[in-house]
């Protein structure tokens, strides 16, 4: 791929965020103590924690910091996974699962604290995160989440129907799960801010340098790009759902253990002051219980940033505009005319059980994938753990539930038909749960 000609998506975030630092490409042969592949939240956060510990770290990025999911997402800071709750995680992973749940519980606060510590201006608002439920029977989802997260001391609450109506300004939902530590950010500003801080502290980032492969040679990790190569004692592969995008040979097992699903994002025109008095007046981030997710949050200019998914290859942006404006008007009739100033998309890495996959890739080498659309906060928090792993902290202290990469069978075929899952989600969403 000719990376020089790859352009930023026409997103709200790329329109409003000041450009990132000028970065070199990797050319010739060089070394670092730790090599990180991928400059999203995971890679940048890992590198920053490493740099703070005095480690010589170099990040190799295919395009620019934030180019993957980290610069295009909805920016909701959510301290839970999409579906699995603490009991599910602990049933699968035992003691390390408990440490992972604790990491997840604190992940939103960790993100806001990192932004504060480094004075990163990312339009951050720690207004809380709410998951309203879209049918009476699904109240039990919220009740279960409140019960399980309360056991772990998370600041969560059950919202009644009236409280949900007051918080979101809509009668569409029947109650909800509420976590005060969540909120929202401009994710590209956070990506670029982390990159800037890393450079200021002496870390290196090579941009427009897709890694083609990594291998173990003479007790070191060697990463090759088109024009250069770098060797290091340790390696973190932080390419997540974009793992197969630039090199099929980079880590095919990791690329094939998630289904990259295109998620559309869109930003409305700024809402009027009158509309904002009733529509999510407390500016919380919201994602509900639909499989075909309803989600929204304000940006700093009072646009609603929302989105969805669509089936079929033709006119997708236009189809999204018509579908989502209809949805917004139904949820909030007082919104009036809805127009969208920005429409863009990005890949969410879905796993079959909605759990992330975290791997030991060899001596002092780690990686993960499977964000399931819920890892803005988690990826920042994982950076701390991954940095500890490559610094030799005992695994018994880490919140990293390792598994071996298990590629999805017939991945290529399933990737083509995966968008049809939306029909299954719609069918399930329309039915009450038992």
Residue 14 binds to ligand FAD (criterion: CB under 6 A): no
Is the sign of the CA dihedral 164, 297, 194, 118 positive or negative? negative
Q: Residue 318 is inside which H or E element, if any? A: helix 316-331
Of 88 and 334, the one with the shorter C-beta distance to ligand FAD is 88
With binding defined as CB under 6 A, does residue 373 bind ligand FAD? Answer: yes
Reference 125, options 280, 346, 268; nearest CA is 280
Specify the residue, 148 or 306, whose C-beta has the smaller distance to ligand FAD.
Answer: 306
Complex with ligand FAD: residue 139 or 149, whichever CB lies closer: 149
Q: Which of 188, 164, 139 is nearest to 41 (CA)?
A: 188
Is 189 a binding residue for ligand FAD by CB under 6 A? The answer is: no
Query: What is the closest distance, in whole angstroms, from the C-beta atom of residue 137 to ligand FAD in the complex?
Result: 26
Q: Which stretch binds ligand FAD (CB under 6 A): 167-175, 242-250, 359-367, 397-405?
A: 242-250
Q: Could you tell me which residues come within 8 angstroms of residue 273 by beta carbon, excluding any fewer than 6 positions away? A: none
* Token output for 193: 């801010």
74 bridge partner residues: none
Q: Which is nearer to ligand FAD, 139 or 385 (CB)?
A: 385
Distance, in Å, from the CA atom of 403 to the CA atom of 405, rounded to the nearest integer, reads 6
Name residues whose C-beta falls within 8 Å of residue 7's C-beta, 6 or more positions apart in sequence. Answer: none
Site for ligand FAD in 64-93 (CB under 6 A): 67-70, 72-76, 78
Contacts of 155 (CB under 8 A, 6+ apart): 179, 180, 181
Nearest distance, CB of residue 275 and ligand FAD, angstroms: 22
Asked if residue 260 lies in contact with residue 62, where contact means CB atoms within 8 angstroms, the answer is no
The single residue among 36, 62, 159, 185 that binds ligand FAD, judged by CB under 6 A, is 62
d(C-alpha 298, C-alpha 184), whole Å: 8
Q: Does 42 bind ligand FAD (CB under 6 A)?
A: yes
What are the structure tokens assigned to 381, written together?
């928090």
- Give the one residue of 57, 222, 250, 386 binding ligand FAD; rule: CB under 6 A: 250
> Nearer to ligand FAD by C-beta: 250 or 400?
250
- Interface with ligand FAD in residues 251-270 (CB under 6 A): 263, 265
Residue 55 contacts ligand FAD per CB under 6 A: no
Site string for ligand FAD, 206-235 (x = CB under 6 A): ----xx------------------------
Q: Cβ 26 to ligand FAD, closest distance in Å? A: 10
- Comparing CA positions, the residue from 415, 110, 79 lying closest to residue 241 is 415
Total residue length of the chain:
434
Give contact residues for ligand FAD (rule: CB under 6 A).
Answer: 37-43, 60-63, 67-70, 72-76, 78, 210-211, 238-243, 245-247, 250, 263, 265, 346-348, 371, 373-377, 379
């Amino acid at each position: 791929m000719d990376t020089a000609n790859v352009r930023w998506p026409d997103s709200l975030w790329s329109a409003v965020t000041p450009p990132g630092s000028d970065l070199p490409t990797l050319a010739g042969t060089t070394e670092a103590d730790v090599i990180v592949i991928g400059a999203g939240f995971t890679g940048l956060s890992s590198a920053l924690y490493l740099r703070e510990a005095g480690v010589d770290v170099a990040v190799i990025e295919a395009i620019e910091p934030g180019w993957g999911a980290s610069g295009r997402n909805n920016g909701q800071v959510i301290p839970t996974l999409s579906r699995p709750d603490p009991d599910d995680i602990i049933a699968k992973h035992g003691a390390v699962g408990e440490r992972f749940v604790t990491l997840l519980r604190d992940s939103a606060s960790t993100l806001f604290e990192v932004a504060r510590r480094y004075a990163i201006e990312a339009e951050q608002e720690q207004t809380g995160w709410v998951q309203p439920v879209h049918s009476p029977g699904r109240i039990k989802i919220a009740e279960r989440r409140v019960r399980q997260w309360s056991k772990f001391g998370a600041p969560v609450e059950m919202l009644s129907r009236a409280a949900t109506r007051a918080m979101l300004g809509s009668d569409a939902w029947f109650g909800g799960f509420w976590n005060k530590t969540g909120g929202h950010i401009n994710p590209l500003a956070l990506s670029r801010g982390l990159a800037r801080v890393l450079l200021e502290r002496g870390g290196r980032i090579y941009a427009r340098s897709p890694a083609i492969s990594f291998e173990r040679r003479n007790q070191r990790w060697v990463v090759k790009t088109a024009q250069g190569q770098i060797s290091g004692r340790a390696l973190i592969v932080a390419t997540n759902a974009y793992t197969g995008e630039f090199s099929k040979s980079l880590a095919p097992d990791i690329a094939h253990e998630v289904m990259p699903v295109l998620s559309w994002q869109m930003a409305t025109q700024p809402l009027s002051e009158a509309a904002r008095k009733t529509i999510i007046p407390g500016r919380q981030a919201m994602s509900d219980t639909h499989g075909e997710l309803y989600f929204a949050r304000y940006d700093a200019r009072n646009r609603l940033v929302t989105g969805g998914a669509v089936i079929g290859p033709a006119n997708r942006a236009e189809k999204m505009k018509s579908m989502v404006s209809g949805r917004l008007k139904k949820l909030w009739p007082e919104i009036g005319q809805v127009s969208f100033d920005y429409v863009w998309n990005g890949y969410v890495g879905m796993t079959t059980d909605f759990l992330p996959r975290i791997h030991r890739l060899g001596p002092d080498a780690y990686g993960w994938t499977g964000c399931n659309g819920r890892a803005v906060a988690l990826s920042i928090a994982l950076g701390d753990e991954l940095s500890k792993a490559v610094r030799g902290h005992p695994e018994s202290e880490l919140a990293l539930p390792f598994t071996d990469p298990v590629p999805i069978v017939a991945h290529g075929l399933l990737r083509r038909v995966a968008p049809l899952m939306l029909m299954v989600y719609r069918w399930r969403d329309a039915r009450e749960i038992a």
